[in-house]
Amino acid sequence: MATPKKILRALAGETQKTPPIWMMRQAGRYLPEYRASREKAGDFLSLCYNPELAAEVTLQPIRRYGFDAAILFADILLVPQALGADLWFVTGEGPRLSTITSEADFAKLKPADAIHDTTAPVYETIRLLTRELPEDTALIGFAGAPWTVATYMIAGRGTPDQGPAHALRQANPALFEALLDRITKATILYLSQQIEAGAEVVKIFDSWAGSLQGDDFERYALEPCREITAALKAKYPTVPVIGFPRGAGDKNIGFAKATGVDCVALDYGLDATWAAANVQVDGCVQGNLDPSHMVTGGQPLIDATRAIVQVFSKGPHIFNLGHGITPDANPQNVQLMVDTVRGA
Ligand code: 1CP
């Protein structure tokens, strides 16, 4: 049997001399070839729903850098759209959605099992990728965590403090929890279909987990992630799950045990030495270089990259940024990071 892919070995708990590497938002606007494909598609959502072009942009960073994993090109907001929310992107600003703030809005949403009518092209993208990816490159599927997805569905856009979602959670907890439950059920079905189509790992992005405090973190970040992971593990026990509770700080401690995920993705706000002692003790971690190094480059990039590899070298580790690469990044700095990790 062929040696398992590097990232699968890390996720199974193996400590490797050179960690596997991929990069959050590795397909994106910092790459000229991405911008060309996006133009061809017309707009961002048309790119997400065009399997040939979505597979092409997924492959672009693999061709350029030979990352150990490819991440499906799609977006966390495809789930709200598949549940019946209106979704559009305003150039230079970001996503906009119709809002869910009342029982009447919620009643208009589709049942969880209706999502595949809209998300079918995403599964087709995955099927194409399973044929086109190099044999040592793993394919990562993903979805947003229910809390993060709910923050967009309630506010109708990205928000600095998730204020509208917190307001609804306080004013109408029953409605808030019904929404979270609908997203959780849809996410289980969505990720299951991604796995059926060929995703070998799935990642749950809780980009706004950091604004949940105390019991609310347990109820609305930990619990939905645990429910999704348990449902997937029951059906696909060998498929690893990566959790990303961005901004959770100390609450990264015990996150893997509490949710059942195989790996915790660390944001760049976390001190690596602290994370090695407190989070990596429970298993694989991913991260956590500050993405601003992809803009600034030079010796500081090399030093910071080496330091992260070194600090996490005593346990299972997947090298990554601590959040997505930004559109102003220089593609040459990405190459410098890859070469540094691989010891060239
Ligand atoms: O071309 C463009 O202008 C669109 C920019 C873009 C891209 C490249 C968006 C809009 N989404 C994506 C792709 C994307 N989004 C991927 C593809 C795979 C890859 O990483 O290469 C993934 C995994 C995501 C995940 C995602 N979308 C998250 C979670 C991760 C994170 O960054 O915290 C979130 C919060 C979103 C929502 C979203 N989609 C796009 C934007 C600009 C945003 C953030 C909006 C906001 O909060 O204001």
Q: What is the reported pLDDT for 49?
A: 98
Mutate which of 23, 24, 25 for ligand 1? The one with the most ligand atoms within 8 Å of its CB, which is 25
Nearest-atom index, ligand 1, CA of 91? 3
Between CA 167 and CA 188 the distance in angstroms is 26
Q: What is the reported pLDDT for 217?
A: 98
Report pTM: 0.97
Sign of CA dihedral 13, 16, 19, 20: negative
Sign of CA dihedral 224, 228, 231, 233: negative
10-residue mean pLDDT profile of the chain (344 residues): values are 89 97 97 97 96 98 98 98 97 94 98 97 98 98 98 97 98 98 98 98 98 97 98 98 98 98 98 98 97 98 98 98 98 98 89
CATH class, domain 6-341, is alpha beta
Torsion of CA 94, 97, 100, 101, to 10 degrees: 60
Q: Is the CB of 38 under 6 A from ligand 1?
A: yes
How big is the CA angle at 99 (ends 209 and 182), to the nearest 5 degrees?
A: 60
Q: What is the reported pLDDT for 91?
A: 85
Protein residue whose Cα sits closest to atom 6 of ligand 1: 28
Q: What is the reported pLDDT for 278?
A: 98
Q: Is the CB of 142 under 6 A from ligand 1?
A: yes
Between CA 98 and CA 285 the distance in angstroms is 36
Q: What is the reported pLDDT for 1?
A: 57
